[in-house]
Amino acid sequence: MDDHSYMKQALDLAEKGRGWTSPNPMVGALVVKDGRIVGRGYHRRAGASHAEVNAIDDAGACARGATLYVTLEPCNHVGRTPPCTRKINETGIRRVVVAMRDPNPGVQGGGNGYLRARGIEVTTGICEKRARTLNEGFITWITTGRPFVIVKCAATLDGRIATRTGDSRWVTGPAARRFVHHIRHGVDGIMVGAQTVKKDDPSLTTRLDGETGADPTRIILDTHLSVSPTARMLHQASDAPTWMVCGPDAPADRRAALENAGAQVITASLKTDRIDLPALMKLLGAMGITSLLIEGGGSVIGSAFASDIVDKVCFFYAPKILGGDDGVPICRGAGPESMQQSIPVHDLSVFRFDADVMLQGYLKPR
């Protein structure tokens, strides 16, 4: 096999860490000697040993003189674990193949430089596009300080997420809904508006068939703290916290009631009496939210697009037509006056989930 074939296997290993490694990136590694894979490893969770260390330990004595394939530039700094570059050098690895450089501006290139200075051959850029997609959330957060934002919706073919009565169960089928839970598992936070909580009383948890999933932090936009302390999301078995985001003038008694129910109340700045979303993204990034899934409702989705905070969209369409103009649209609020002012979507991909279709694309350059 060639470098690309081995790197694809390392990327498959990295994927196993999805949902568990944040705020660290997902990383996979292989040790190859004489055309044979002798060691495998991936980063399992933040604070645990890195992929390179796991792969080298798995290889044992076979690592000396071997080639290490790793999906991200090895770290050369002391964090919660020692630098991986020291382990690579001390083990006697002769060549390191890297998918992408570390995007952290403070350390970029340091690991590769350290290895080259010690006579180890370093090759970079193998399967780089896939590696960058794998860690798109980490890359955005470490370079901008804000989370990578995904907007998800489920709509009929005529663009409605609910009927005029608010009925939205279910727009899409079981397969599409299962995939949404995989998306939830992979993000740090999930955000909805207060009206969605009051109308649907959702759990906002991750439910994977036969697997353990990580619940994202539940983030509720509630300017005046109108959500009831009896909401389901505040009374369920979940390790993830619930954050209620309100304005500076939210009533103190409502704040106290929600806090007594287990919520953390976060005061955010307002813009035209609504939560200032760009400012909130900076705040969430500082609080360790590297990726955020916005699930609705229409007003929140419309505000997210208008505020230019969205990086990626996952629009699910069911083969259904409501046929009227009184259902709930995907986006609420004023739109542009001309088609030229519409938001372009790049790198569009299409996925099928039984009868449903998902359109996935990006709003910002990658």
**Which amino acids are annotated catalytic?**
52
Amino acid at 197: V
Cite the beta strand spans of the chain per DSSP E: 28-33, 36-42, 67-70, 95-98, 121-124, 148-156, 160-162, 189-193, 217-221, 242-246, 264-267, 270-271, 274-275, 291-296, 312-318, 328-329, 346-353, 356-362
Handedness of CA 256, 262, 264, 265 (dihedral sign): negative
3-state secondary structure of 236: coil
**Rg for the chain, CA atoms, rounded:** 23
* Alpha-carbon span 221 to 169, nearest angstrom: 22
Pair 264, 242: CB distance under 8 Å: yes
Lookup: tokens for 307: 């505020």
Q: Which residues of 139-151 are buried (b: 16+ CB within 10 A; e: fewer)?
A: bbbbeeebbbbbb
Closest CA to 65 of 42, 31, 41: 31
Q: Which residues of 43-61 are buried (b: 16+ CB within 10 A; e: fewer)?
A: bbebeebbbbbbbbebbee
Closest CA to 30 of 67, 62, 80: 67
Lookup: tokens for 17: 């860490």
* Alpha-carbon span 70 to 98, nearest angstrom: 5
* Alpha-carbon span 263 to 242, nearest angstrom: 5
